[in-house]
Amino acid sequence: MTTPEPAPADRAARAAEALRAAEAAAGRAPAPPASPEPPEPPAAAAAAQDGGLQALADLFAATGVPEPLTARAATRLGPDAAARLRADPWRLLRVPGVRLRQADHFARAVLGPEARPDDPRRGRALVLHLLTEAARDGHTVTPAADVLSALERAKVPDPRAAVDAALDEAEVLALTEEPGFAGAESDEDAEPPEPEETLGPARWALAEEAAAEGFQRLSLTAAPLLDDAAVKELRGGLPEDRSLALTAALRTGVSILRGAPGDLASTAAGIAAAAAGRGVRAAVAAPTDRAAAGLRAALPSGADVIVTSLHRLLEPGGDPHAAPGAVVYGRGEPHPFDLDLVVVADASALDAELCAVLVEACPDGAHLVLCAEPDAPPPAGPGRPLDDLEASETVPVVTLDTAPSGPIGTLAEAVRGGALTTVDAPGREVVIVPAATPGEAVHRTVQLVTDSIPRALGIAAEDVQVVAPAAAGEAGTGALNTALKERLNPGPGRFGGLDPGDRVVVAAPLPHAPLGETGTVTGGGPRGLEVDFPGGAAVIAPADASRLRPGWAVTVAQARGTRRPAVVAVLSPEGLSRPLVATAFGLAERHLSVVQAAGPALARAVREDGAPPRRTRLATLVVH
């Protein structure tokens, strides 16, 4: 059982404000204040923003902060960032990439001799910084003892006072994890173990609680979508695993479906089409609009099923009360889906916040089917909702029987089982390309994309997606994109390093497109960058352009869930794990080239797995 620490009365107002901020950051639209201030006219708002950016640039120039940090700080701290930093220079720790040593240096430049290690502002900011760093590793909570130890190492004189100061700001929550008992084998006379205190950023703690409450609500309010006779008729002739999946989807509020990518796509489409054929309002939600197009093709002709990206299904938009840069969704508890059945592809990519948004958008009585590969990588953001829900043993889980289709499917299935095997590929479906150095890996990749694959297999370069474990490194996506642009679309980088014809990927959600969506730059101007996405053309405002990255090569985390005709997986030793490798291989539909620059580290990662665990609460919250 997990319970929040009781908060003093003087924290109540701040906690309410933190709740609104966390919901806005998560994309859950908060109710506006009772008497909202009238919005500024666009010209006045733009002038204020420009003035704030200039004030921040002047402050950073005077204190020796690198100029590239200005845009990131303005995005994270808002238009009054300069004033906020003068009042509390350690707020700089909220900007991604800033370390304590840099924040201390900045504080001394701003405050002079008054910048001391025992300043309460320093300890308070450091607590949130430590928890945010843990969140970047996927954790939603951290043991309080670990935080206190880290504060001591940072020479904070009174670590407990620093934690209390962070709690007073209401951006951090204290939670008590009640220990379990060993049952009959436990010593009746033994003292029960002490509850463990954990700390977590409010936005993630509240998101996990909202997701858990949503799963409980859907399970409790669900009634069968069809009567027994209709379900029996639909099950007729289906294999046992497909029959079980259909039954779970139609009879229970929340269910999990596991299987290989191709099997999941056909089964998800079949469940939705079968239900829609009996009058059930059904939708299939994919990670991206490009992936949705593939799922749409798997539907029977004439099926009355909505197939779109989850991002678009949730109706993204702007909100004047949202945090800077946040995407706020129109669908939620006040405005739920007009649907009876929602099937979500690649649900293992849902982090705690997006999962909370999804379940809150499902009305009472709706059925939710969450699909994912077995042992898929955890989401890019904090939490692991799908794995936690399965671990709670509160919902049915159906695993499809695996019958690998073709050399690509055989290889991916072998990797999921912990083996790196050689597969027979008479049609060059799988090609292994050894590379002795990172530089050779980049060179081989360019050859494959621009010559070998189009010439030998007839797959155009625009249908080839290069993936790698990470962006950094000599064979990471950064180096790969530089080399691919030079061959595929050389140019001066007229629009912030990009030119018309460049492929881009969404690295952080935009109102126009979800994480991982790729598009092509078509132009640009004062209003922003013009990009053609699968869901339509969009103009990306200059303030949001940093959410785009070159997209000929993308990380596996960005590519997951969106299959391509051909994939070139560039594997170097860093960041490998069995789930990541299996996911990378499973992205290919017709052809997979593996540029093997990892040496024996690849086989070792596949054999030993190595995916790091995450500290989360949702599994416990769902049960209670």
State the Cα–Cα distance between residues 344 and 202, nearest whole angstrom: 26
Longest CA–CA separation in the chain, Å: 79
Helices (H), 473-617: 477-488, 556-559, 578-586, 600-608
**What pLDDT score does 29 carry?**
47
pLDDT in tens, 122-156: 999 999 999 999 999 999 999 999 999 999 999 99
Q: State the Cα angle at 208 between 285 and 224, rounded to 5°.
A: 50
Name residues of the chain where pLDDT drops below 70: 1-51, 178-193, 318-325, 610
pLDDT in tens, 329-340: 999 999 999 999
**What pLDDT score does 176 carry?**
81
Q: SS3 of 528, please?
A: strand
Please identify which residue in the block is written with the tokens 């003068």: 86
**What pLDDT score does 192 carry?**
64
121, two tokens: 């502002």
**What pLDDT score does 45 carry?**
45
**What pLDDT score does 198 carry?**
95
The closest of 199, 171, 168, 203 to 22, measured between CA atoms, is 203
The closest of 596, 569, 624, 621 to 206, measured between CA atoms, is 621
State the Cα–Cα distance between residues 364 and 45, nearest whole angstrom: 40
**What pLDDT score does 7 carry?**
44
pLDDT in tens, 188-230: 666 666 778 999 999 999 999 999 999 999 999 999 999 999 9
Domains and CATH numbers, the chain: 41-178 (no CATH), 204-402 (3.40.50.300), 406-608 (3.40.50.300)
State the Cα–Cα distance between residues 559 and 501, nearest whole angstrom: 20
Q: Is 495 exposed, middle or buried (0-12, 13-18, 19+ CB in 10 A)?
A: buried
State the Cα–Cα distance between residues 172 and 557, nearest whole angstrom: 28
**What pLDDT score does 322 carry?**
59
